[in-house]
Amino acid sequence: QAISTLASTSAAFLVSPSPIHSSQRLPQFVPTPLTPTQKRKHDLLEMELEMEKEKALQKVLDEAYADVSYYKSTLMGTQSNLVLQSMYCDKMSGQLAAQEERKSKKKRVVI
């Protein structure tokens, strides 16, 4: 399913049986800006609670903040990795273009 979907996009060359050419590029990745994770000061997190229900809700709110922090750091790591991979692909594409150029020059000299 994913491969057939990919075959109808601008990155279809990745699933094609044909060799990749330097002119074929992945779509540009645009990272999502992430704001620093800050725990907001809610009175709910600071107040002394008397009822068990209040304590449970306070705990859930605190856990939700921990989840947000975890997912933001995971997203930041994923985006960083993707930026590095894009840089690598650009470098490899440049090397492939140079190789294609050398091959085309050899063919012109032979002919």
Full-model pTM: 0.66
Domains of the chain: total: 1
Is there a contact between 14 and 27 (Cβ–Cβ < 8 Å)? no
pLDDT value at position 109? 74
Q: What span, in angstroms and rounded, lies between the C-alpha atoms of 48 and 30?
A: 45
Model confidence pLDDT, tens digit, residues 80-107: 999 999 999 999 999 999 999 999 988 8
Domain that includes residue 54, residue range: 2-110
User: Which residues touch 10 (CB under 8 Å, ≥6 apart)?
Assistant: 27
Model confidence pLDDT, tens digit, residues 14-63: 999 999 888 998 888 888 888 876 666 666 667 777 788 888 888 898 89
The residue written with tokens 């009822």 in the block is 51
